[in-house]
Amino acid sequence: MYIPTFDDMMAAHERVKPYIHRTPVLTSSFLNELTGAQLFFKCENFQKAAAFKVRGASNAVFGLSDEEAKKGVCTHSSGNHALSLSYAAGRRGIPCNVVMPRTAPQAKKDAVIGYGGIITECEPSTSSREEVFAQVHAKTGGNFVHPYNDPRVIAGQGTCSRELIEQTDGLDMVVAPIGGGGMISGTCLTLSTLAPETQVIAAEPEQADDAYRSFKAGHIIADDAPVTVADGLKVPLKDLTWHFVSNHVTDILTASEEEIIAAMKLTWIRMKIVMEASSAVPLATILKNKDRFAGKRVGVIITGGNVDLDLLPWLN
């Protein structure tokens, strides 16, 4: 197992610069007063393809040799990695095959197709996803870019925290969502060198809390098909992301479905930005644990903004 290094992240940042945005950091005096903390929101919902995952996907795609790239790339994803890999592959002019749960948001499926990706649907479980993917991979022979358990992807995701540290004047903590752990791993990779005093806090839905239980148990506990409004956080940790979580994450906090939806709606109302439910989990955990964050300078990574506007969770 190759564990990506800080130098890999630095190389990734140079590689992906032409294909990504340096996303803004926004603040909200209302949310600062509400939480008692100084919050700095790194807005990856304004990223290309509206998701941080375009960083890792672009690093993987543009790191391929011409020979490797001939057969294209393939992956499985609940949405944002699929559309991000489709975006990057389209920029390089190579095919992209993705396996997606049939229950994935239509907005994310439409984006994959819009970027030129080819979708094969599976049932909404990790086992079905991996089984169908094995068939697609065997058929296409494309380079497998795992949505998170991939050194190239983690190095790419780490570029987000590099920018965040450059855009803020020191942070006590950075809070990011955790599903499979790609963003958290990239955050750990970068901050352990650039800002080792900054704590990394992972935020997870209570109804998909396998990372929390893994963290407490000291080994990976994988759920097959959790149900949560945070559709991007349903997948389990793998060996590479577990390395970063177990060695560098300070704590994992959880939030209920009601708390996630409330935080998502609050951000829409007060900050006037579109973000998806997965991105609301960090703020939900901060609101739930105000004493933990009071008086601190806290980076909050808003991971994506691909939302089906006809199915907003507070309307159902």
What pLDDT, in 10s, does the model give residues 14-45? 999 999 999 999 999 999 999 999 999 999 99
**Do 194 and 214 reside in the same domain of the chain?**
yes
Verify that 132 and 161 share a domain, yes or no: no
**Residue 1 lies inside a defined structural domain of this protein:** no
Average pLDDT, the chain: 95
Q: Which of 144, 170, 191 is the last residue of a domain?
A: 144
pLDDT of residue 225: 78
pLDDT for the residue 126? 83
Indicate the pLDDT class of residue 1, thresholds 50, 70 and 90. Answer: confident
How far are the Cα atoms of 92, 204, 260, 286 from residue 254, in angstroms, in the given order?
39, 5, 10, 10
Q: How far apart are CA 34 and CA 265, in angstroms?
A: 15
250 inside domain: yes
Question: What pLDDT, on the 0 to 100 scale, is given for residue 233?
Answer: 92
Whether 95 and 217 map to the same domain: the answer is no
CATH code of 16's domain = 3.40.50.1100
Do 223 and 113 belong to one domain? no
Within this chain, do residues 62 and 26 fall inside the same structural domain, yes or no?
Answer: no
Q: What is the pLDDT of residue 221?
A: 94
Q: In sequence order, which residues have a C-beta less than 8 Å from that of residue 21 and are 6 or more positions away? A: 46, 47, 48
Please state the domain count of the chain.
2
- Residue 224: the pLDDT is 80
How confident is the model at residue 29, as a pLDDT? Answer: 97
pLDDT of 69: 96
Residue 78, pLDDT score = 80
- Does 138 lie in the same domain as 64? yes
CA atoms within 13 A on the CB side of 296: 20
Q: Which of 144, 167, 186 is the last residue of a domain?
A: 144
pLDDT of residue 27: 97
Looking at the domain assignment, is residue 214 inside a domain?
A: yes
Order of all β-strands in the sheet with 143-144 = 118-122, 96-101, 73-76, 143-144
Q: End of a domain among 126, 144, 162?
A: 144
Strand partners of residue 143: 73
pLDDT of residue 36: 98
Task: Give CA separation, 186 vs 9, 242, 244, 268, in Å.
Answer: 8, 12, 8, 26
Average pLDDT over residues 86-112: 94
Residue 142: the pLDDT is 96
Q: What integer pLDDT is reported at residue 315 of this predicted model?
A: 82
Residues 301 and 272 in one domain: yes
265 and 188 in a common domain: yes
* pLDDT at residue 309 in the model: 80
Task: Answer yes or no: do 172 and 246 share one domain.
Answer: yes
> Is 177 part of a structural domain of the chain?
yes
Q: Distance between CA atoms of 233 and 181, rounded to whole angstroms?
A: 9
Residue 97 shares a structural domain with residue 158: no
**pLDDT(308) > 90:** no
6-10, 36-40, 102-106, 130-134: the lowest-pLDDT one: 102-106
Task: With respect to residue 106, please indicate whether it lies within any of the assigned structural domains.
Answer: yes
Same domain assignment for residues 58 and 81: yes
pLDDT digits (tens, 9 = 90+) for 254-298: 999 999 999 999 999 999 999 999 999 999 999 999 999 999 999
Looking at the domain assignment, is residue 184 inside a domain?
yes
Same domain, 21 and 156: yes
Name the amino acid, one letter, at 55. Answer: R
Q: Does residue 179 have a pLDDT over 90?
A: yes
Q: In this predicted model, what pLDDT tens digit does every residue of 67-98 receive, in sequence order?
A: 999 999 999 988 899 999 999 999 999 999 99
pLDDT, tens only, 215-254? 999 999 988 878 999 988 988 999 999 999 999 999 999 9
pLDDT at 306 exceeding the cut of 90: no
Domain of residue 104: give its range: 54-144
- Asked if residue 316 has pLDDT above 80, the reply is no
User: Which alpha helices (DSSP H) does the chain contain, by range?
Assistant: 6-16, 29-35, 53-62, 66-69, 80-92, 106-114, 126-140, 151-167, 182-194, 210-217, 239-248, 257-271, 277-288, 290-293
